[in-house]
Structure 1
Amino acid sequence: MRDQVELRAVDIDSLIGQDHPARVIWAYVEGLELSELEDRVKARENRPGHPAPSPRLLLALWLYATSDGVGSARALDRLCDSHDVYRWLCGGVSLNYHTLSDFRVGCADLLDRLLSEHLAALSKAGLVDLEKLAQDGVRIRANAGTGSFRREATLDRQMAQAKAVVEELKREVDADPEASNRRIRAARERAARERSERVQAAQTALAELKRKRKQLDDKGGNGKKPKEPRASTTDPQARVMKMADAGFRPAYNVQVASAAGQPIVVAVDVDNNGSDRGLMRPMLERTRARLKRFPRRHLVDGGFCSAEDIEWAHGQGIEVYCPPTKSRSGVDPFLPRSSDGPGVLAWRARMASDAGTAQYQARSICECIHARWRNWDLRQLTVRGIDKVRAVVLWYALTNNILQGHRLANA
C-alpha cells in the first residue's frame, strides 16, 4: 500500500559517508576559535530571547553550501529541512533564512582572518609555496539590470519626485488618526524614503564617475569620444563592463591572487573598474598585509601591464612576469625604450628569455580557481555593493582553500 505513512527512526550520523566533504568542513570548523562571534550572542541561558544558533553551525552551513553551488539564503533554509547533508550539519537545529542571510554578508572580517590563518597553516606544513604568486581577474555579473542605469538629468528628476512623495506621505501619516491606515501609509513613506536614498547613492556614484573621467581627460584621454556617464539606482557601485563573451553588462571586477601553479587563494579584492590595468600594485599591497612580506615573483597577464606598477614592484624587490603588449607598428616589444626605467628594462629582458617564459607558464593554474567558482555557480551575484560582494567572494576563497588543502594533505 503506497499511500501508507510510516514513521522510521533515523540515525543522523549515517546520512552521509565518512569521507563526505561536509565532514571535512565540519572538522575544520570545530577546530576554530570563534569567541568574537560567540560573544555577540545576546540570548543566553536564564535570559529572555530565543536561543541563537551556534556561529560554528552557520559557518559550516555556508562553507558547504558554497561548494554545493547554493547562493541563496532561502534555498539554504529549505535544504536544511529536506536534504540529508544539510540535516546532518544542522543536527536537528532549526534556522531561518534571515539569520542565514545576515551571517553571510556580516562576517567579512572573520573570513579574512580565517583565510590568513588557514594559508599560514598550509605554508607551515609545506603544502604551498608563497614566494611566487599569480594574479587574475574575472568579471562577475552584478545584481542590477542594464535598464537601472540613469543619466544625471534623469536622476535629478527622480530625486525631486521621490522627495515630493516622501513629504506628501509624511503629511498623510501625521494627519490620519486611524492606526491601520497610519501603518499602511508609514510603510509607503518608508518605501519612498528608501527609493530616494537609492537615487541619492546613484547621484554620488555619478559624481565619482565624472571625477575619474576628468582625471583621464587631464592625462590626455584614450582617444575615444566619451559617452554621458550613467549610474544604477539598483546597485550604484556596479559598473557596465565588457564580459568574457564580448557583451556589456553591469558587473564587478573580482581579483584573485593565488600560489603560482597551485589552486590556493592567497588574497582577493573587488573593484568596479572594467580594466585590470593598475590593479597589480593594490593586490601586492594586500598580499603583503596578509603574508607580512612581498612575494619574490608575481605573474600576471598582459591586461595588468603598466610601466608604473612594474617600476614600483622592482623597487620592492619583486620580479614581475607579464607578457608585453604587441605594438601596432610592428616594433619588437622586448626591445628597450628610451623612456624605460631600470625595472621595465629588467622586465623586458626577463620576458624575452626562455627562463622567463618557463616561469610565466605557471600563471594559467590561477584560471582554474575561476572555473571552479563558476562550477559552484558564481556567475551572477545575489548581493549589492562592493562590501557585500567582497564578503561573498571570501566565502568562495575560504571554501576553495579548505577543500584543496585537504586534498593536498592527503595526496
Structure 2
Amino acid sequence: MMADEELFGELPEQAKPRAGAEPVGAPRLREPMRDQIELRAVDIESLIGQEHPARVIWAYVEGLDLSELEDRVKARENTPGHPPPSPRLLLALWLYATSDGVGSARALDRLCESHDVYRWLCGGVSMNYHTLSDFRVGCADLLDRLLSEHLAALSKAGLVDLEKLTQDGVRIRANAGTGSFRREATLDRQMAQAQAVVEELKREVDADPEASNRRIRAARERAARERSERVQAAQAALAEIKRKRKQLDEKGGNGKKPKEARASTTDPQARVMKMADAGFRPAYNVQVASAAGELIVVTVDVDNNGSDRGLMRPMLERTRSLLGRFPRRHLVDGGFCSAEDIEWAHSEGIDIYCPPTQSRSGVDPYLPRHGDGPGVLAWRARMASEDGKAQYRARTICECIHARWRNWDLRQLTVRGIEKVRAVVLWYALTNNILQGHHLAKP
C-alpha cells in the first residue's frame, strides 16, 4: 500500500484551534436542498408488518375467483392496448380504504402514491381516480356474491350461527342539501325553463359554423339537458310520494296533517328523515341483518322510507333467498313491530323478539288484546317471559356494527341514488366481515 505522503504529496498543515480564540469566517452547516432528484432503494414488502390488516385483506382477495371481471378486460396478449389495473388490486384497495375511512376516489389515488400501506398494496401499479370511482359503484353484484360466499364459509367453519338473526336500521346522510327539495309548482317551472334552455342551445349549436364555439355550446347544452333530467326525476319522485300518501290516507292516515310534498333535484331518491340527533335531514335508511351476538353482517338493504315499520318482512324474505331458509329467531327493536308482520312470521315458523309498545293508558302491553291473532298472542307471551327477554339482549350487539361504520367515516354519502348507495354499503359490510371473520378464526 502506498504511503500517505506518496499518494497525496505535500499537504499544508491545518492550524489547530487555539483555546479561547474567536471563530473566524462564516460557519459551515448542512442545509436542506430539496431541489435535487433522489433515487431511493425501497423494499416494498417491508413497508408494513406481518399482522397488518392490509395483509389480511390481500390474503382474502388472493383466493377469490374474479374471472367475471377479468373477462371484461379488452387488453389481451398479442393485441394493442394499455393494460388496466388488476380487478383483484382494485378490490383490495377499496376494501382497505373502507376500513381506513377513505371514501373518495381522488383521495385514494393520492394515497396510492404517498402512503406506505397503499403503496404496498399497489406494488408499483399506478392508479387514476376515474378507474377507482367507476369500480367502487359498478360491482354491487360481485360484492353481493362475495358477501354470501364469505358468510357461507364462516357458517361452515362454525364461527357464526345463522339460526338467530338481528335487524337494525341506520339513517345515513344523503348527498343532497335540504334546500334542494322543491314543491310541485317549483319543479314544473324549473322543468319548463330547462327544456327552453335545451331547445335554444340546440338551435345555436346547429347554426354556429365555428367549431370552438360549437363545442362550448354543446357542453352548455349537455349541462342543461342533465339539469332537465334531474328535474324530471324529481317530478317522478314527487308523484311516488303522493301515491304513497294517498295509500296511507286510504288506510286511515297517521293522525297528522301532511306537509306539501317535496322532492330533491340533487338526489331525487333521498328523503328527509329524522336522524339520531333528532334533527331532520336528507338521508337513506340502511337496513342491516346480522348474526345475533356476533359482528357479522348477513345482508343489507337500502330504503328511502323514514320509518322502520314494515321493513322486517322484506328483510326476512331477502334472507331466505340468500340462505335458502328462514332463521328460527329474528330480533328487532320496537320500531319494526307490526301485527301484520308478526302474524306472517308466525305462519312461516319464525319467532319474533321485539319489545311491545308501551300504552299511554298504562295497560300492560304483554296482556292479550281484542283482535290479536295467534302469532301476536304467542309474541306477547314470549316477550313477557324471562327467557324471551334474555334472548332479546343479544340484539344490542348489532349496534356495534353501526358504530364501527361510523368510525370508518360512514356519516355522509358521496354518491347519489339507491343503487349506488347500496354498492357503497356493501363495501362496508364485506370489509366488516373480512376483518371480523379473521378475528373469530384466530385460535
Bin for the TM-score computed over the shorter chain? over 0.9
Provide the C-alpha distance between the structure 2 equivalents of 1:150 and 1:409, rounded to a whole number of angstroms: 51
CA offset at residue 50 of structure 1? 1.4
Structure 1 residues 196 and 298, CA, compared in 2 at 3 Å: closer, same or farther?
A: same
Query: Could you give the per-residue CA deviations for residues 79-122 of structure 1, whole angstroms, max 9, x where no partner exists?
Result: 00000000000010011000000000000000000000000000
CA offset at residue 7 of structure 1? 2.4
Query: Could you give the per-residue CA deviations for residues 337-393 of structure 1, whole angstroms, max 9, x where no partner exists?
Result: 121000000000000000000000000000000000000000000000000000000
CA offset at residue 46 of structure 1? 2.3
| Alignment counterpart, residue 427 of structure 2, candidates 382, 395, 399 | 395
Provide the C-alpha distance between the structure 2 equivalents of 1:379 and 1:15, rounded to a whole number of angstroms: 31
Query: Could you give the per-residue CA deviations for residues 276-306 of structure 1, whole angstroms, max 9, x where no partner exists?
Result: 0000001001111111110000000000011
Q: Aligned residues, how many?
A: 411
SS at match of 1:133: strand
Provide the C-alpha distance between the structure 1 equivalents of 2:81 and 2:274, rounded to a whole number of angstroms: 49
SS at match of 1:32: coil
Provide the C-alpha distance between the structure 2 equivalents of 1:252 and 1:384, rounded to a whole number of angstroms: 10
CA offset at residue 45 of structure 1? 2.3
CA offset at residue 4 of structure 1? 6.2
CA offset at residue 5 of structure 1? 5.3
Query: Could you give the per-residue CA deviations for residues 61-86 of structure 1, whole angstroms, max 9, x where no partner exists?
Result: 00000000000000000000000000
SS at match of 1:53: coil
Query: Could you give the per-residue CA deviations for residues 301-352 of structure 1, whole angstroms, max 9, x where no partner exists?
Result: 0000110000000011000000000011111100101210000000000000
Provide the C-alpha distance between the structure 2 equivalents of 1:40 and 1:290, rounded to a whole number of angstroms: 26
Query: Could you give the per-residue CA deviations for residues 149-174 of structure 1, whole angstroms, max 9, x where no partner exists?
Result: 00000000000000000000000000
Note the aligned Cα RMSD (angstroms).
0.9
SS at match of 2:289: strand
CA offset at residue 251 of structure 1? 0.0
CA offset at residue 6 of structure 1? 3.8
Provide the C-alpha distance between the structure 1 equivalents of 2:34 and 2:95, rounded to a whole number of angstroms: 38
Provide the C-alpha distance between the structure 1 equivalents of 2:82 and 2:231, rounded to a whole number of angstroms: 38
For structure 1, the residue ranges without an aligned partner over 5 or more in a row are none
For structure 2, the residue ranges without an aligned partner over 5 or more in a row are 1-32
Provide the C-alpha distance between the structure 1 equivalents of 2:253 and 2:150, rounded to a whole number of angstroms: 44
TM-score (norm 2): 0.92
| Alignment counterpart, residue 372 of structure 2, candidates 340, 365, 374 | 340
Provide the C-alpha distance between the structure 1 equivalents of 2:289 and 2:163, rounded to a whole number of angstroms: 12
Structure 1 residues 174 and 2, CA, compared in 2 at 3 Å: closer, same or farther?
A: closer
Provide the C-alpha distance between the structure 2 equivalents of 1:8 and 1:157, rounded to a whole number of angstroms: 62
CA offset at residue 44 of structure 1? 1.6
CA offset at residue 3 of structure 1? 7.3
TM-score (norm 1): 0.99
SS at match of 1:282: helix
CA offset at residue 48 of structure 1? 2.5
SS at match of 1:324: coil
CA offset at residue 2 of structure 1? 7.6
Provide the C-alpha distance between the structure 1 equivalents of 2:81 and 2:234, rounded to a whole number of angstroms: 39
Q: Which residue does the alignment assign to 1:45? A: 77
Provide the C-alpha distance between the structure 2 equivalents of 1:255 and 1:39, rounded to a whole number of angstroms: 33
Structure label with greater radius of gyration? 2
Provide the C-alpha distance between the structure 1 equivalents of 2:340 and 2:79, rounded to a whole number of angstroms: 59
Structure 1 residues 326 and 194, CA, compared in 2 at 3 Å: closer, same or farther?
A: same
Identity of aligned residues (%): 91
Q: Work out whether 1:134 is the aligned partner of 2:180.
A: no
CA offset at residue 49 of structure 1? 2.0
| Alignment counterpart, residue 234 of structure 2, candidates 184, 202, 212 | 202
Q: Work out whether 1:312 is the aligned partner of 2:344.
A: yes
SS at match of 1:104: helix
